Structure 1
Amino acid sequence: MSGNSRATRLGDRIKEIVATMLERRIKDPRLGFVTVTDVELTGDLQHATVFYTVLGDAEELASSTAALESAKGLLRSEVGKQTGVKHTPTLTFQLDATPQNAAHVEEALREAAARDAEVAALAATATYAGEADPYRRPAVDDAGDSADDADPAEDERPS
């Protein structure tokens, strides 16, 4: 939707009107469980795109789309009556792809989690390619002191 507040308010109002009309006044048997998700208006408020989702399979989607197209005139006239704007915007219905995109992202996350679990299982049983501790440690003499801890000044004292 455009950045101005009038377009935002009008879009919200159109969304509310269309959703109410679909629920209460449109009695088309082809109309399935339709949810109006968003309305976007052009900057001049002449064209409104109504985004919707349909619960069901492809057949219910096609029949609901046909029902929305046939009810477009009635919905537009009701929007004009209830909003009171000088020029009622034309309505265009477009299927909202957000649920499909969300399902795709969730599937990708599930797949990534499964791969992470697989890698973690492999890492739990893996052994080191070289030594378990690749760092050099100072040698320990019989007294329990490491050779590096010996005072170099002791070696240079005259006897």
Structure 2
Amino acid sequence: MSNERQARLADRIRVLIAERIEKGLRDPRLGFVTITDVRVTGDLQHASVFYTVYGTDQERADSALALKAATGMLRSEVGKKLGVRLTPSLEFIPDGIPENAGHIEDLLREARERDASVAGLSASANYAGEADPYRKPREDEADED
């Protein structure tokens, strides 16, 4: 199987599931879910569906249960619309991108604060030696004479 075929199938599955979720599932537990990525195995038998949920931890947990309950129905719909001989099994995996992005923002803020404190210290600092520690070629020639 080619990687191109895997990518096309993964993209098609992502679109189909996103459209179906947008139309609404009959599960009140389902929150504001976004399908972020789909990865299909090389044999096209399994699809890992990555998603994020906007909301609280409880809404994330409820949405995970709702997606797990709807997996069979979503798989059969995907199978009908894909037109492939074997429909891949679906596995819904919460995507860690929002949490990682928050952590990265915290690290960047901390780095900016440290840079500002170092800049403040360097503004009032004096050189340990001369301001320009490098010897100039003309000085070398004058010393030799």
Structure 1 residue 128 displacement after superposition: 2.8
Q: Percent identity?
A: 58
Where in structure 2 are there 5+ consecutive unaligned residues?
none
User: C-alpha offsets along residues 67-86 of structure 1, whole Å, 9 cap, x if unaligned?
Assistant: 00011111001000000111
Structure 1 residue 24 displacement after superposition: 0.2
Q: TM-score, normalised to structure 2's length? A: 0.87
User: C-alpha offsets along residues 40-98 of structure 1, whole Å, 9 cap, x if unaligned?
Assistant: 01111110000000111110000000000011111001000000111111100001112
Higher helix share: 2
Alignment of 1:27-42 (within 5 A): 27-42=26-41
Runs of 4+ in 1 over 2 A off after TM superposition: 127-138
Task: Tell me how far apart the structure 1 counterparts of residues 133 and 33 of structure 2 sit (CA, whole Å).
Answer: 63
Q: Look up the match of 1:69.
A: 68
Q: Secondary structure at the match of 1:110?
A: helix
Where in structure 1 are there 5+ consecutive unaligned residues?
139-147, 153-159
Task: Tell me how far apart the structure 1 counterparts of residues 95 and 67 of structure 2 sit (CA, whole Å).
Answer: 14
Q: Look up the match of 1:87.
A: 86
Structure 1 residue 3 displacement after superposition: 5.7
Task: Tell me how far apart the structure 1 counterparts of residues 89 and 64 of structure 2 sit (CA, whole Å).
Answer: 17
Distance 1:75 1:127, change over 3 A: same
Alignment of 1:1-159 (within 5 A): 4-132=3-131, 148=142
Larger-gyration structure (1/2): 1
Letter of the structure 1 residue corresponding to residue 72 of structure 2? G
Distance 1:48 1:134, change over 3 A: closer
